[in-house]
Structure formats: C-alpha cells, structure tokens
Structure 1
Amino acid sequence: YLQEQVFTENDGFYAWMFLKRRTLWQTILSFIWPVFALAVCLFPVYPYQCKIVVLYSCAGALLFIVSLLLLRAAIFGVLWVLLGKRVWFFPNINAEETTFRELVRFWPVKDEGERPKWTSRLIYATVALLVILLLRHHAPDEAARAR
C-alpha cells in the first residue's frame, strides 16, 4: 500500500485515502475479457459452422440497428410533413456519451421550435416521393431477382 503521508495545517491541502473493494462483477469480467480476446484471435481456426453463426449474428445485429434508424427517420419524416412537428423516437440512439438507460429511452423529445412553413414541408415531401419513385423504377425485376 501507500506510505503514510503527513500534512500540516500551513500547506492548505488535505487528502483522504479511500480503498475501494472490487465487486464480484469486476472479478468475473477480469476473467472473461482474456478468454474473449483469445476467442477473437483464434477466429480464423474456428469450424465453418461457428463462423457462419458469428457471421449471421453480426449481420442480424447490423440489420436490426439499420432498420431501427430507418424506421425512426421514416416516422420523423411523416410526422414532420403532415403535422409540422419534430418527433424523434429513441432520441439518444446516436449519442456517444450516454448511459444504456438513456440510450434506449423510447419517449420522444418535445418539439420546442416554431413550426416549419407549408412550402418547405411540401418541397421535402415531393423530393422524398421522387426519390422513392426513382428507386422503384431502377429496382431489379422478377427475372433479375430469380437469377
């Protein structure tokens, strides 16, 4: 441990020594992290079935995140065009320094700004409709999907 420190009243600084005990969760994680790091390093020698499970798990998680973000943007766009309100579901989903509880908070943030004009909302709705029609026009047909 540390040496005993002596402070005088003239120094103007005081210190407290605090020894925090490790929790059971920290002890368990200190054993799990090296095993996890070893498992990541040995991924190239995994059997084929394990690689497929890892691949589909990562692809599924990525698809879930992207679909959540797209659904969130679609709901925002529809409500903004129709009602003129800015409503974000999962408002902290892109925040970097939040707790997990704040990250998955579902309730929308209140709209505190002034309502946008009808003209700007109509222009954005028209542009979005044109982009959707353009994507639909250039989508592959049934024969291309069958190949």
Structure 2
Amino acid sequence: MSGGEKDAATLLGEDLLCKNWVESRPAIMGRERVEIFRGVDLVTYLKRNEDAMERALPGSKKKIEKGYTNAGEVAKDVAKLLMKKDLFCRSERMFKKPKLGRKKLTKFPRKVFVCEDQHFIEGSYYSWKIQRPPTPWVKVASYIAVLLVFGCTLFPLAPYKVKLGVFYTSLTSLITILGIVGVRLLVYATIWTFAGKYVWLLPNLFADNVPLNEIFSPMFAEEQNKHGKQYPAPPLRNRVIAVAAIFFSIFAAYRNTPEKGYGAKIRSTTDDMFDFLVSHGTLQRLTGESNKEDPIGEVNVNETEVDDNLDDDDLDDLDDFDEL
C-alpha cells in the first residue's frame, strides 16, 4: 500500500463521520471546535452492520457466524482500532451538573475536555480528530464574506437610501439588544426587591454552552449555588436601599452630563449624524423646522425685500440708484 492511500479502518472512520452513520454534534474542546459522538452509538451501529466491522477487521464476520465471538466484542475491537488510528479521542463533558432551570444533563455537551485515560469505554464521549470535507455552502459563505468586505469599503460612496437603511437596521438591532437587557434587569431587580428571589428572565440568553434552539427555554429560572440550593435573601430594607441607590446614581449621571469632554463629544457626534440625515433627505427634526430651501439660481424680480430699519438717507440713496 502506497503512502498516499488510506487503509480500510481510516476509510470506515471517515464514512462514520461524513455519512452520519453515527450521530455527531458540534462542541468546543479547549479553543477548537470539534464534533463529538457517544461510544454507545458507535457500538450499536457496528453491531447492526457486520459488513462495516468486516471492512476494518477482515474475517470477523465469519468468527461471529461460527460463534467464536459475539458482535458486541468485535464492535469494541473495531472502536479500539479506530482510536489506535488516531481518528478520535476520548473526552468528557466539562460541566457535570445541569444548567440553571434544568433537571437533567443534555444528551450532548457543548464543552468537553480530553481525558487522560484513553481506553475505549462504551458510556463515554469521543471527539473526532478528522474533519468533514468542505460543503458548497462554505464556498458560498466565502464569496458573501468578500462581498461584505467590498460593501464596507465602498459604503461612504453608497447612495443615501442605502446609508439610511444601514443606519436604521443598526439602530433597531442596538435598541432591541439594549431593550432586552433592560427588561431582564428590571424584572430581576423587581423580583429581588420585593420577593428576595434571584430570578432571571431568559437565563440562557447569553449562555455560550447552550444550543440556539434552547436559548429561550426556560422562560424564568432562579439562581442556585453549586449545591443546588437557593441563595439567601438580604433583608427587605437593605434591598430597597440598594435598588434606590442604583436608580438614583443612573438618574444623577443622566442629569449631570458634562458639557465638555466625553459627554459633549457623544452629543456632538449624535447631532452631526442626525444633521447628515436631515440635510440629505426629507427627514425633519422634532423641533418642527422645515428643511425646504429656495431653488438655486431662481430670482424673483417682482419682489424686493426692504429693511424696516432703513432711515430716510438710505431710502434716498436707493432712489438715486434706481434713477441711474
């Protein structure tokens, strides 16, 4: 066999991953993104598909038929062979206890670490060391990324409507994020002040080890310590004083924004941004001032504005000018 060719065990491992013969899920191991699977799923698949075991261990099918061994033992031998080929390694979940608001651990953890003991155990997790081949969507995503870079570069030259759309999209996203954060803090402060409970709205919203389809579940959950017990509540008087002090500090900071320095710079930047939108479109400020301008190059010869403050000498000079 030449150096460039792959043996049967390596090809079997690639098929197990790339053809989804064994259920695999994305996870984070250290600073790398990997795909993990359960040892029990691998053994179950191999026991049901003796031809796959025959690919890695020729002659195993005949031994099973003659009763020299059973399918379970051969499946474990194949798994050990794949580990010896360095196709995957044994790993364990990083967090051993359920997330806040859950009673059971997830089927597949989001974060794992490599175990020191690399013996194959059917009830453990394993991380693939091989990668799936790139799909056509990877090329599409790369082209889209290049277009986004060009779009950001040419953004100053974009039409006004494009700039306006980007502005409102960004502003809407920012307001949505800040609004959600504000509502969560308000709910937390209200429940903590009056009930003494540490309850969060959407506790998994900013969790990095929770799948996207589980971010909004559960809706409410109370914080617990490492022993699974609730935190003790401070006295009501202390809670009210703490919340009142926080709101008073925020109100005082808002009312006493400095006219110079960083606060003034923020105001100036905001005013310049809105002035740009007003001067290049049909928008108007909340002051009610009109944005209409006289057409350039048009002169009304039938109307002459005369200042009421002109004295008689100035009017005589105007009459002399008309006679000329």
TM-score, structure 1 normalization: 0.69
The residue type equivalent to 2:200 in the other structure is: W
Deviation per residue, 1:11-53 (Å, 9 max, x gap): xx53349562333433431332212222122211111110111
Superposed counterparts of 1:57-96, under 5 Å: 57-96=169-208
Q: Distance in 1 between the 2:151 and 2:245 partners?
A: 48
The residue type equivalent to 1:122 in the other structure is: V
Q: Which residue of 1 aligns with 2:75?
A: none
Higher helix share goes to which structure?
A: 1
Q: Which residue of 1 aligns with 2:156?
A: 44
Q: Which residue of 2 aligns with 1:9?
A: none
122 and 19 in structure 1: CA distance in 2 versus 1, 3 angstrom threshold: closer
Q: Percent identity?
A: 22
Count of residues in correspondence between the two structures: 135
128 and 18 in structure 1: CA distance in 2 versus 1, 3 angstrom threshold: closer
Q: Distance in 2 between the 1:74 and 1:29 partners?
A: 39
Specify every segment of 5 or more residues in structure 1 that has no aligned partner in the other structure, as ranges. 7-12, 140-144
Q: Which residue of 2 aligns with 1:14?
A: 85
The residue type equivalent to 1:56 in the other structure is: Y
Deviation per residue, 1:66-96 (Å, 9 max, x gap): 1111111011111111111111112233445
Displacement of 1:5 in angstroms is: 7.8
Q: Which residue of 2 aligns with 1:54?
A: 166
Pair 1:118 & 2:236 matched: yes
Higher strand share goes to which structure?
A: 2
Q: Which residue of 1 aligns with 2:48?
A: none
Q: Distance in 1 between the 2:158 and 2:251 partners?
A: 45
Across the aligned residues of Structure 1 and Structure 2, the Cα RMSD in angstroms comes to 3.5
Specify every segment of 5 or more residues in structure 2 that has no aligned partner in the other structure, as ranges. 8-83, 88-128, 224-229, 257-285, 289-324
